[in-house]
Amino acid sequence: MISASPRPESSAGSRAAAHAPLVIAVLTYKRTADLAVALPRLLHQARTAPIPAQVLVIDNDPDAGARDVVEGRKDPALIYVHEPRPGIAAARNRALKDAGTSSRLLAFIDDDEVPSEHWLQQLAELQKRTGAAAVVGPVLSEYAVAPDPWIAAGEFFKRRRLETGSRITVAATNNLLLDLGQIRDLGLEFDERFGLSGGSDTLFTRQLVQAGAVMLWCDEAVVVDRVPESRLTRAWVLRRAFRSGNCHSRVRLTMMSGRGPKFLARLQLVAPGAARLGGGAAQALTGIVTGSLRLKAKGLRTAARGAGILTGAVGYVFSEYKRSGHRHVFRA
């Protein structure tokens, strides 16, 4: 949880978002082609939602590159907001703010994702039925080109599937519905120290559950992640595994208060980090000796995550989304 930071004034359009009980927030940064594909589908979701809904686009590009794509549609259900402060956490907080106190539900989805036919309806109906503070759905990957067999063998894009109604303790914002009343009551925001590294959604949802709120899985509410060719490389997937481990440690440390508990948490992170690094390296070596593509890929994936856990435990920040000229400092 963080203190609110000064924000640019909302436009007339962003104020209008407060009048919809349900808001779909799509955050975007210099991906206008992806956004152009996503918007018609998101507007369809808004029109078929069980309660009145709007689509809120938060443009995190300092140059407001998505403005023409959004405003050119001239759709009253579509709201454009420019959030120039760098980092996805700032954009997520802007979505919380601009959804307004009149909105009851806020659904996050990525700008490179396509929702299934009844995605929003299924999330909202499970939330209404259970009163959960958050409802999370699965993300399936669709590839621009066939993945390298090494990437497929390592299952780098495989994500969890659970039974609907299962309680979970952590989630991303790529398919997440929030009950804004409960979020406001808890005073939660996204930690902007994670804005350029990723992980603010991991911390946010862990804090939500730690505060006693309920977060549930809805397995029918599927969205499809359109993976571009640029992400289908060995270097990219290993960097992502490293970043995941790095964020895991930093989230754990951020949730600790006091020097003693933080120091103990660092020690507790070093052991599993080292075990993953060593065990993954051994598995990869076995794969090389035996010719097993699966062992080589999964071993390096495990080792990369272990290295990330270790570096995060000692305070290193891997800023995957770092922008030119921006210095990012993190202290836990």
| CATH 2.40.110.10 matches 12-231 | no
Residue pLDDT, tens place only, 217-257: 999 999 999 999 999 999 999 999 999 999 999 999 999 98
Q: Quick check: 237 and 304 in contact, CB under 8 A? A: no
Among residues 114, 38, 108, 109, the alpha carbon closest in space to that of 70 is found at: 38
Question: Rounded distance, CA 285 to CA 262, Å?
Answer: 34
User: Radius of gyration over alpha carbons of the chain, in Å?
Assistant: 20
pTM equals 0.89
Residue pLDDT, tens place only, 20-47: 899 999 999 999 999 999 999 999 999 9
DSSP one-letter string for 155-188: TTT------TT-B-S---SSEEEEEHHHHHHHT-
pLDDT at residue 10 is higher than 80: no
* Distances from the Cα of 250 to the Cα of 51, 67, 198, 316, angstroms: 38, 34, 11, 9
Question: Rounded distance, CA 123 to CA 129, Å?
Answer: 10
Question: Rounded distance, CA 280 to CA 59, Å?
Answer: 39
What is the pLDDT, as a whole number, of residue 20? 81
Q: Mutual orientation of helices 259-290 and 234-254 as an angle, nearest 10°?
A: 160
Residue pLDDT, tens place only, 152-169: 999 999 999 999 999 999
Three-class DSSP category at 191: coil
Name 11's Cβ contacts closer than 8 Å, sequence gap at least 6. 80, 81, 82
Cβ-based burial of 32 (10 A; exposed 0-12, middle 13-18, buried ≥19): middle
- From the centroid of its chain, how far is CA 226? 15
Name 8's Cβ contacts closer than 8 Å, sequence gap at least 6. 82, 83, 84, 85
What is the pLDDT, as a whole number, of residue 14? 44
What is the pLDDT, as a whole number, of residue 190? 97
Question: Rounded distance, CA 183 to CA 63, Å?
Answer: 31
